Amino acid sequence: MSNQLANEISPYLLQHAHNPVDWHPWGEEALAKAKAENKPIFLSIGYAACHWCHVMAHESFEDPETAALMNENFVNIKVDREERPDLDNIYMQAVVAMTGSGGWPMSVFLSPDLKPFYVGTYFPPVRRYNMPSFKEILTSLARAWKEEKDEIGKVGEKVATHLQSQTQAENREMPAKESLQFAAKSLVESYDWGYGGWGAAPKFPQAMAIEFLLAHSTLTAENKENQIKLIKHCLHAMSRGGMYDVVGGGFARYSTDNFWRIPHFEKMLYDNALLARAYLHAWQVTGEPAFKRVVTETLDFIVREMTHPGGGFFSSLDADSEGEEGRFYAWTLDEIRAVLGDDSDFFEAAYGIASRGNWEGKTVLQRAMDDSTLAARFQIDLETVPVKLAESHAKLYSARAARIRPGTDDKILTAWNGLMLAAFAEAARFADLSPRFSPSYLQAAARNAEFLLSSLRPDGQLRRAWRDGKTTNEVFLEDYAALILGLLELYQTDFNNKWFASAKDLADEMIERFSDPSGGFFDTPNEGESLLVRPKDLQDNATPSGNSLACEALLKLAAFTDNGKYRGLAEKSLSLITDMSMRYPTAFARWLSAAENALNNGRQVAVLGDAKEEMFGRMIEAIWSEYRPGVVVAASAYPIEKDAPALLAERPLMGNKPTAYVCEGFVCKQPTTEIEILEAQLNS
């Protein structure tokens, strides 16, 4: 027998549709039921790839006795945090405020007026881990609701007041160049030079911090060498295996240890989008072949395993398969020897594989010996090492394909797709990433953009999520901002004006629907549902905040259009995070990259001419041949095509040849038809 979740589109909600718990989706019906019956709400928030969400579901939500307690005393609401980041943000703040930490599954008890009075995360079915059982909590709170409602009301009111105060940010001057230097210095000083990354286990990849340091070190001479050293150290540490899937490509969510060895095995679309771009830019800066390999393997993994036939990108792969976390990815020594045969000795040395394994009797692959040491030990050329390893990876991938795969959360989220769209669009500019795959990167990007602008924009209204032909009703700031940025990157790859025009239209909608007159943007639209607070999240978390993405998008659009409104809104947004970004640079790293762009005034390049001419193509290649943070590029045939960026306006051809115009800091250089002059202007 199914409950009220049976008609939802979220795979996470559908996983609970046959629980004995009388689950409801968040909505008017459930909230009205709580008020009419004067019952507290049990709000459970999680996501499909969350291991401990599955554990609590099996232990408690599938248990008839626990379900009976829940149904009798509470209105039970299940929320997919990926569909409703607004609710997740509001109530995660409550969990952190009341307990000091947070995570998923998130368990929040609310009064019918949506004020939280008791919160937590995972609760066990019996007393363990120094925690009360979930049934004890249910019983205790049901009794308190009947006997101590006034006290519960006081707690809820206090928490609500705290949450409302968190939406206020003080306007200051936007960050100065000295502020960015201070932030970069803080990141270097707090870096873990032993094992890579920031902080202790669980250790999360900090792609946005790496991106900021890449941009800062490229644009600023101070301490450049040490910052590049940090970037290389961190990216190598994360990609040698463990958290990175050396067999199939792609990154897991985080490392459970300090050494990037044993991951929490779920693979999230947003992590792989952010990391693919960080490795792409690092490859441009350093030329490291290993970084190039990570980019192609990660994007190939997305094309192969996380792409809908229509072009959208799926949300995640589960951590579990066959009821066990990591079962799909771990190996025994016997399995490796059976697959690799005579090549096993070489592979065992490369990965330090022992019969006892490195995790629960099995091995999670992580490089133990570098290429030069392997070459010397096995008396082969250095160039042969990655070839032999790639052959072994391919054999193991084929063997692994016979295993039962982890579940796929196949809903398509606009914001996360926008992040991945940007990664594919940028990678498609570089034919030498992989001649075999580079054209398909552009194809993947264009198909994704078409999908998002049609399936996720029915009747011209952007939506958050799509699955099986159905969309949710909600949309959030990050959906608009990430899609705008993805479309602008795609425009700068194939110069199809449709992408630029769509990005500009979406930006104008975003400003109209989400702007806060005091600066920045709300996460929910003006006409959105009335919640406990109207969230306005400034902090970059696992994904960039909608506000930092919006700021970045508006800066780019200002460069394309010369529209001062876009620039003014971006600068006003930047003024909100000046103090916090200095104190917590890893929590505001995407903002810092936007500030770097704003303070350097970027660089604008316009190229006009026949795209079929060799010189036109060489000019575009020259622009993208190096990592140039803050550069925006517009290109068009002449006369200029409809819907083209204003950056191209009133720029004639010289001598009827492809012509490039480079502008920087509100000053334009002499237009040129010569590739050498263009390169000199770009590199000055």
What distance in Å separates the CA atoms of residue 108 and residue 427, rounded to the nearest whole number?
Answer: 42
Neighbours of 354 (CB within 10 A): 11
Q: What is the model's pLDDT at position 172? A: 77
3-state secondary structure of 324: strand
Alpha carbon of 37 to those of 32, 73, 145, 355: distances in Å?
Answer: 9, 10, 13, 60
Exposure letters 526-565 (e unless 16+ CB within 10 A, then b): eebbebbbbbbbbbbeebbbbbbbbbbbbbbbbbbbebee
Angle between helices 564-574 and 589-600 (to 10 degrees): 130
pLDDT tens sequence across 92-127: 999 999 998 889 999 999 999 999 999 999 999 998
Which phi and psi angles does 409 have, rounded to 5°?
-85, 100
Q: How far is CA 237 from the centre of its chain?
A: 20
What distance in Å separates the CA atoms of residue 265 and residue 227, rounded to the nearest whole number?
Answer: 29
Q: Which residues contact 291 (CB under 8 A, 6 or more apart)?
A: 235, 239, 279, 280, 282, 283
3-state secondary structure of 152: helix
Is beta strand 631-636 parallel, antiparallel or unpaired with respect to 603-608?
parallel
Q: What is the model's pLDDT at position 602? A: 80
What distance in Å separates the CA atoms of residue 209 and residue 278, rounded to the nearest whole number?
Answer: 9
Q: What is the model's pLDDT at position 173? A: 86
Is beta strand 106-110 parallel, antiparallel or unpaired with respect to 659-664?
unpaired
The token duo for 124 is 């066990």
Alpha carbon of 197 to those of 91, 194, 264: distances in Å?
Answer: 28, 9, 16
Largest Cα separation within the chain, whole Å, is 87
The token duo for 570 is 């971006």
Low-confidence ranges of the chain (pLDDT < 70): 167-171, 432-439
3-state secondary structure of 381: coil
Q: What is the model's pLDDT at position 168? A: 67
Q: What is the model's pLDDT at position 438? A: 52
What distance in Å separates the CA atoms of residue 664 and residue 682, rounded to the nearest whole number?
Answer: 10
The token duo for 396 is 């193991």
Residue 95 falls in which region: left (phi positive, over 0), alpha (psi -120 to 50) or beta: alpha
Q: What is the model's pLDDT at position 445? A: 97
Q: What is the model's pLDDT at position 171? A: 66
Q: Which residues contact 500 (CB under 8 A, 6 or more apart)?
A: 487, 488, 491, 560, 634, 643, 644, 645
Q: Which residues contact 146 (CB under 8 A, 6 or more apart)?
A: none
The token duo for 477 is 């700031």
DSSP secondary structure letters along 223-281: THHHHHHHHHHHHHHHHSBSSB-TTT--B-SEESSTTS-SEE--EEHHHHHHHHHHHHH
The token duo for 266 is 């779920």
Residue 324 falls in which region: left (phi positive, over 0), alpha (psi -120 to 50) or beta: beta
The token duo for 421 is 């769209």
Q: What is the model's pLDDT at position 437? A: 41
Q: What is the model's pLDDT at position 120? A: 93
3-state secondary structure of 334: helix
